[in-house]
Amino acid sequence: MIRVVVVEDEPLLAELLTETLQAHADLEVRDFIASGKQALMNIDPQDLDAAVLDIDLGPGPDGVEVATAWRAVNPNLGLVFMTNVIEPAALLLGRGLAYLPKRRATSIDALIECIGVSASGGVMVDSEISDALPAAPVGLAALTPHQQRILRAIATGASNKKIASDLGVNIKSVENATASALRTLGIDGRDTEVSVRVLAALTYLRLTTQMG
């Protein structure tokens, strides 16, 4: 049984999602919440296996901020961003994550699949967001083991500071290795407004995970 919460500021959609998901034998919907503030005040993420969140939640914390706070308490929490907002920074939350634009959610089965994948630590990123970022023309084999370790760590949500500490190098070395890895993969971070860390995370996930 996967314990789920729905965070959605459109009341009718939140109610419909809750009722539909609750009818699924493998899901237990603990609650539905209408704002980021209420989510942070009223929900204990340690009691959850997954969360379905919109990113635009109106005034107050957005879905990414709520998810980040919850992950700090429950690192294994599966996250499903079901939203009309394209926010690549959400990918920095690492594995156990699914990203499904509302306009692409053509059936409840797609959402249920996202919940299951995220709760098990997998990754599903809809092509609408992955296609918006540069693709790597070569594979991870072109990178040094050091570069691969850094991209893997970024994709799991580790900060540059933590990566530097774990590898026994300084932060500048991590930044340089990340930029060098992207260049080797044929991606120039200067050609996009997306941050280098987001590019690194998405590139690693794209090369190691099947994305729809």
Task: Read off the pLDDT of residues 30-53 as tens digits, 9 standing for 90 and up.
Answer: 998 999 999 999 999 999 999 999
Going through the chain in order, the beta strands assigned E by DSSP cover 2-7, 27-33, 50-53, 78-83, 97-101, 123-125
Predicted pLDDT of residue 54 = 94
| Residue 159, token pair as written in the block | 């900060």
Predicted pLDDT of residue 195 = 65
Mark residue 168 as left, alpha or beta (left: phi above 0; alpha: psi -120 to 50; beta: remaining). Answer: left
pTM above 0.75, yes or no: no
Return the closest-CA partner of residue 13 out of 43, 62, 54, 44.
54
Predicted pLDDT of residue 15 = 87
- Give me the helices (H) in 43-193, please: 63-73, 108-119, 127-130, 145-155, 160-167, 171-184
Predicted pLDDT of residue 187 = 73
Predicted pLDDT of residue 130 = 61
Task: Read off the pLDDT of residues 59-97 as tens digits, 9 standing for 90 and up.
Answer: 999 999 999 999 999 999 999 999 888 776 677 777 788
Contacts of 30 (CB under 8 A, 6+ apart): 3, 4, 5, 43, 47, 48
- Stretches in the chain below the pLDDT threshold 50: 193, 210-212
117 neighbors 110 (Cβ within 8 angstroms): no
15: three-class secondary structure by DSSP: helix
4 neighbors 48 (Cβ within 8 angstroms): yes
6: three-class secondary structure by DSSP: strand
Return the closest-CA partner of residue 118 out of 141, 132, 98, 140.
98
Predicted pLDDT of residue 168 = 92
